[in-house]
Structure 1
C-alpha cells in the first residue's frame, strides 16, 4: 500500500528491512528512488533530528560513480527519511550467500570500486563507519568489469553517523558490525577514515576466502580477536595481494593505506589475477555447537551434531539475518582492558582438523578437562597396578642372609 513521504515522494513497495529502518521503492519528481525510512523511535529523537538536518549538506554533496547518492533528506512529522538513488541489482552479501567466494579478479575489482567511493567520501570529510557486504550494491544493468564483476556502489553513507549521537553511544558503546570493526573502535577511540580501510580489507578477505578473518562465535570474542590476534594467510593468492591485505588489516591505523592508494594498488594487481579460479581453502565457517554436556557424558561425537555457520554474527542475541538492506547499527558495551588482555594471542582462526574445537572455546575447554581427567585416572590405575605388582613380588622373594653385608673377603 502506497504512503506519502513528505510532500514530494511516494513509497510503493518495501525492498528491505534493517535495524535502522525500512527501505522502500518510491517515486519522486525525477522518477524512481529508494527511500530509507528510519525507525519511529529515531524520528522522535529531537537530538537526532537536529543532527539529521545538520548533515544534510555533507550527505547531499557526496556524488561519485561508486557511491549511492543521497538525493534528499525528509523530516515530516514522524517521518525521517533518506531519499537515495535506486540501484537495479543486488547487494554483495546476497552474491556471497549464493557463490560462497568470488574469483580473485572479481573480488579485487569490487574492492577497488568501493575504495574509489571511499576516497571521494574521505576527501569530503565523510567516514562511512559501517563498510560491509550488505552495504555494497551491485549494478546489474551496467557493463561487466574485470572477472565478470558488476559495478559496485557503497550505500548507507551517513546512517551510522546519524545514529551515532553522543547521548546514544557515550564512551561505553560502539556502533557497527563486529566482523568488520577496526581495533581502534573496539578500544573506544573515535572513528577516522582508517576504520573504513580496515573494514574494506576485511570484506576483500571474505570475498576471497568465504569467511571473515576474525569472525565466528560470540560477538565479544570477535571484538577481542580484532585487537589481540593476527590474520591467517590465504594460500593460493599472489604475495603482492596478501601483503596489501596485511597492511590494510594492521592494528595501527597509521599503518594502513589511504583509500585512493588502496584503489590504485588493487587495480594494478588485476592483470596478475586474470583467469584465477576461486580459492580452494579450508572453511572454518562451521563448527560443532559448543555444548559441553554431551561431550562430558559420552554422547554422540561433536562432528555428528548440528553445525553452526561461522560468519558475520549479530550483536543482538537471537537476531536472524535480515534482508538485502541489513543494518546492524546496534550499540554494544566496549570490552574492558582486562577482558581484551584475556584473549588468546597469536594467529586467529588457525587451520585445524575437521571437527576439532576452536582453541579457547567452551568445547575446547571441556575436551581438555575430559582429557586431563582421563589421563589422571589412567595414571592412578597404572600406579595402583605397579604397587600391587611390587607387593606381590616382595612377598615371593626370600629375605637376604643376615651376614650378606659382611660376606666380602677380608682385606689382608
Structure 2
C-alpha cells in the first residue's frame, strides 16, 4: 500500500527490512528512488532527529560511482527517511547466500569497487561504520567487470552514526555488526576510517572462504576473537593477496591500508587470480562451552540445523542467535579481563574439504579406527618380540650342558 513520505515522495512497495528500518521502492520528482524509512522509535528521538539534520550536508555531498548517493533526508512528523538512488540489482549477501563463496577474481573486483567508494567517503570525512555484504549492492544493469562481476556500490552511509548517539549508547555500548567490528571498536575506542578497511577485508575473506574469519557462536565470543586471535590462512590464494588481507586485518589501525591504496592494490592483483575457481575449504567449528559437549550433526533431530556454539558470552545474559550479522547490535564494551579470559590467542584453522568435523560421528569413527589400528600394531609388535625371545631361549636350551642349565657349581667330593 502506497504512503506519502514528506511532500515530494511516495513509497509504493517494500523492497526489504533491516534492524534500522524498511527500504521502499518509491517515486520522486525525478523518477524512481529507494526510500529507507527508519523505525518509529528512532524517528521519535529528538536528539537523533537533530543529528539527522546535522548530517544532511555531508551525506548529500557524497558523490561517487561506487556509492549509492543520498538525494534527500526527510523529517516529517513520525517519518524519518533517507531518499537514495535506486540500484537495479541485488545485495552481495543474497549472492553469497546463493553461491556460498565467489571465485577470487570476482571477489577481488567487487571489493576493489567498494574500496574506491570508501576512499571517496573518507576523503569527505565520512566513516561508514557498518561495511558488510548486506550494504553492498550489485548493479545488474551495469557493465560486467573482471570475473563476470557486476559494479558494486556501498549503501547505508550515515545510518550507524545516526543511531550511535551519545545518549543512546553512552561510552559503555557497542553499535555495529559483530562479525565485521574492528578490534578498536570492541575496546571502546572511537571509530575512524580504519574500521571500514578492517570490515571490508573481513568481507573479502568471507567472499573467498564462505565464512568470516572471527564469526560463529555468541556475539561475545566473536568480539573476543577480533581482539585476541590471529586470522587463519586461506589455502590456494596468491601470497600477495593473502599478505594484503592480513595487513588490512591488523589489530593496530595504523597498520592497515587506506581505502585508496586498497583499491589500487586489489586491481594490481587481478591478473594473479584471473580464472581461479572458488576455494575449497570448510568453515572451522566454534569451540563448545566448557560445561557442554558439542552437539553433533548425527545427534540432531531430523530436519533441524545444528547451531554452532561459541565461547562464553562477554555480555551477561546474552542469548545465542541464528545469525550474528544483525545490523547495529548493541552490546556492552567488555573489560580487559573479559577479553583476556579464556582466549587462546590462536586462530581457528579452516578444515580441508571432506575432512571430518570434530566431534561428529564420522570423526569419532575415524579416531576409533586409528586407535584400533595402533593397538593392533602394538599387539603384533609385542607378540613378535615374544616369539623372538622364545626362539632365542629354545636355541640356547638345545645346546646347553646340565651344568650350564642349572647354573650351579659341582659338589666338592
Same fold, judged at TM 0.5 (above) = yes
Partner of 2:298: 304
Q: What is the distance in 2 between the residues matched to 1:251 and 1:294? A: 32
For structure 1, the residue ranges without an aligned partner over 5 or more in a row are 296-300, 359-412
Partner of 2:399: none
Partner of 1:355: 357
Deviation at 1:311, TM superposition (A): 11
Between the two proteins, the alignment pairs up a number of residues equal to 348
Deviation at 1:292, TM superposition (A): 6.2
Partner of 2:180: 180
Q: Does 1:273 align with 2:266?
A: no
For residue 118 of structure 2, give the secondary structure of its aligned residue in structure 1: helix
Partner of 2:112: 112
Shifted more, 53-62 versus 343-352: the winner is: 343-352
Deviation at 1:288, TM superposition (A): 9.8
Partner of 2:377: none
Asked whether the equivalents of residues 212 and 311 of structure 1 are also in contact (C-alpha less than 8 Å), the reply is: no
Q: Assess, with a 3 A threshold, how the Cα gap between structure 1 residues 249 and 57 changes in structure 2: closer, same or farther.
A: same
Q: Does 1:264 align with 2:264?
A: yes
TM-score relative to the length of structure 1: 0.80
Q: What is the distance in 2 between the residues matched to 1:212 and 1:311? A: 15
TM-score relative to the length of structure 2: 0.80
Q: What is the distance in 2 between the residues matched to 1:192 and 1:290? A: 34
Q: Assess, with a 3 A threshold, how the Cα gap between structure 1 residues 7 and 327 changes in structure 2: closer, same or farther.
A: farther
Q: What is the distance in 1 between the residues matched to 2:137 and 2:234? A: 26
After superposition, the CA RMSD in angstroms is 2.4
Q: What is the distance in 1 between the residues matched to 2:71 and 2:342? A: 45
Q: Does 1:133 align with 2:133?
A: yes
For residue 120 of structure 1, give the secondary structure of its aligned residue in structure 2: helix
Asked whether the equivalents of residues 296 and 306 of structure 2 are also in contact (C-alpha less than 8 Å), the reply is: no
Deviation at 1:334, TM superposition (A): 1.1
1:8-407 matches, cutoff 5 A: 8-284=8-284, 302-306=296-300, 307-308=305-306, 317=319, 328-351=327-350, 354-356=356-358
Per-residue CA distance 1:136-194 (angstroms, 9 max, x = gap): 00001111100000100000000001111001111110111101000000000000000
Asked whether the equivalents of residues 288 and 303 of structure 1 are also in contact (C-alpha less than 8 Å), the reply is: no
Q: What is the distance in 1 between the residues matched to 2:25 and 2:107? A: 28
Per-residue CA distance 1:54-90 (angstroms, 9 max, x = gap): 0000000001000000000000000000000111110
Q: What is the distance in 1 between the residues matched to 2:230 and 2:320? A: 29
Q: What is the distance in 2 between the residues matched to 1:98 and 1:162? A: 32
Deviation at 1:211, TM superposition (A): 0.5
For residue 189 of structure 2, give the secondary structure of its aligned residue in structure 1: coil
Deviation at 1:349, TM superposition (A): 1.4
Asked whether the equivalents of residues 131 and 200 of structure 1 are also in contact (C-alpha less than 8 Å), the reply is: yes
Partner of 1:385: none
For residue 302 of structure 1, give the secondary structure of its aligned residue in structure 2: coil
